[in-house]
Each structure stands twice: as C-alpha cells, then as structure tokens.
Structure 1
Amino acid sequence: MKMQWALIAGLVFALFTGIFAVINVNSVEVNLLFNTFQIPLILLILGCTLIGGIIVGSYGIYRQYRLQRENKQLKLRVSELENAKSSTDTFDSYASMDTIGTTEPEGSIANDSIESQRKGNPTGTL
C-alpha cells in the first residue's frame, strides 16, 4: 500500500512539474561560472527535474545493493551460529550423560548456605 501512495505522489509531482514547465517557456540566461548562455526555462526545469530523479534513483539503487549485501552477510552469520549451536548441543548432551550420577541435590546446597548464614557468615559461602 505504501508503494502505491509513493507512485501516486510521484505522478502528481510529475504532472505539476510538467504544467509548471509548459507555462514558463521564456528564455533565461544561465551562468555556469565559465560561460553563460540562453536556454528556454522549460528545458531548464525539465532538465533539473530529470537530474534530480537520476540522483535520487541512484541513491536508492545503492542503498538497495548495500542492504542486500548486509542481509546476505547476516544470513551467513545466522547459519554459522546455528551450526555452532547444534554442534555444542550434541557435545553437551554427551557431557550430561557422563555426569548424571555425580551431582549433588539442589536442596543440600541451599541448606548449607542457610546454615552458614545462621552461623554468622553473611555471604552464604562455606
């Protein structure tokens, strides 16, 4: 929907520019620092509008290219991270199988910390 409004606004702008250019057909003197010459104002208006459109279009193409390149780099980074995560998940599952019977129950750690606080150790460490 946003693109449609942009197209409509562009067409309205082109229509107003065309009408404005057709109304102003008198010749004007243009000074380009090194030379001056007479040119119809209609050509000057349309030429400046065309040059402005080319500049804006070039910037849009450059921005689109840059975003596509960044998107490609980010997709590669995501795939690398997913591959790294899957390899570490496999390693972690094997490591957790080896340590199943060697861990202390969580309640004993909490009880030790509570007992050490009662004995005057404010940090709760043993």
Structure 2
Amino acid sequence: MKMQWALIAGLVFALLTGIFAVINVDSVQVNLLFNTVRVPLILLILGCTLIGGIIVGSYGIYRQYRLQRENKRLKLRITELEASAASTAVPVSYDSIDSLHSNEPEPDDQLHNDSIGSQHKGNSPGTL
C-alpha cells in the first residue's frame, strides 16, 4: 500500500512539473561557467527534474544494495551463532529443571528476607 501511494505521488509530481514546464516556454540565458547559452525554459525545467530524479534514484539503489549486503551478512552471522550454540548445547531433562525451581525461595520468603535485611541496615521495616 505504501508503494502505491509513492507511485501516485510521483505521478502527480511529474504531472505538475510537466504543466509548469509547458507554461514556461520562453528562452532564458544560462551561464555554464565557461560559456553563456540561450535555452528554452521548458528544456531547462525538464532537464533539471530528470537530473534530480537520476540522483535520487541512484541513492535509492545504493541504499538498497547496502541494506541487502548487511542483511546477508547478518543472516550468515545468525547461522554461525546457531551452529555454535547447537554444538555447545547441553541436553537438559525436566527433572533438573524441577530441582532448580525447588531451590528458589518463595516470593513471600524473599519479601520477608528483604525486610529482615533492611532492619539490620537500620532502615525502617517498610522500606527496601
């Protein structure tokens, strides 16, 4: 959908530029640093628009190329990390996970331990 709106906006801009160029058909003097020439304004407007489009398009192509290259590099890095993680992975049984959870203090016990620790530090029982 976003691409469709960009295409529509580009077509509207091209239409407005074309109308503006057709309205201005007088000949103008252009200084090219080493020479001065007379050019119809319609050609000058359309030429500058074309050069601007080429510059913007070139930048867009360069940016797309750079992003694709970075994407490819990151995908290779992910596969390397997955391979190294798979080679160093230790199989874990559910019994060992249950034993880990049984050693953790209950939340009420943790709160009680925190309040006891804060009393030893000289703080009031309600603060941490």
TM-score after normalising by structure 1: 0.73
How far apart in 2 are the matches of 1:74 and 1:65? 14
How far apart in 1 are the matches of 2:66 and 2:57? 14
Structure 2: unaligned runs, 5 residues or longer: 97-101, 105-112, 114-120, 122-128
* Partner SS, residue 28 of structure 1: strand
Partner of 2:9: 9
* Partner SS, residue 4 of structure 1: helix
* Partner SS, residue 25 of structure 1: coil
2:43 corresponds to which letter in structure 1?
L
Root-mean-square deviation over aligned CA pairs? 2.2
Q: Tell me how far 1:60 sits from its aligned partner.
A: 0.4
How far apart in 1 are the matches of 2:88 and 2:30? 70
* Partner SS, residue 61 of structure 1: helix
Partner of 2:33: 33
Q: Deviations over 1:17-52 (max 9, x none)?
A: 000000000000000111110000000000000000
* Partner SS, residue 30 of structure 1: strand
Partner of 1:87: 87
Structure 1: unaligned runs, 5 residues or longer: 108-113, 115-121
TM-score after normalising by structure 2: 0.71
* Partner SS, residue 25 of structure 2: coil
Partner of 1:76: 76
How far apart in 2 are the matches of 1:54 and 1:41? 20
How far apart in 1 are the matches of 2:32 and 2:84? 61
1:16 corresponds to which letter in structure 2?
L
4+ runs of 1 displaced by more than 2 Å?
A: none
How far apart in 1 are the matches of 2:2 and 2:23? 32
* Partner SS, residue 37 of structure 1: strand
Partner of 1:64: 64
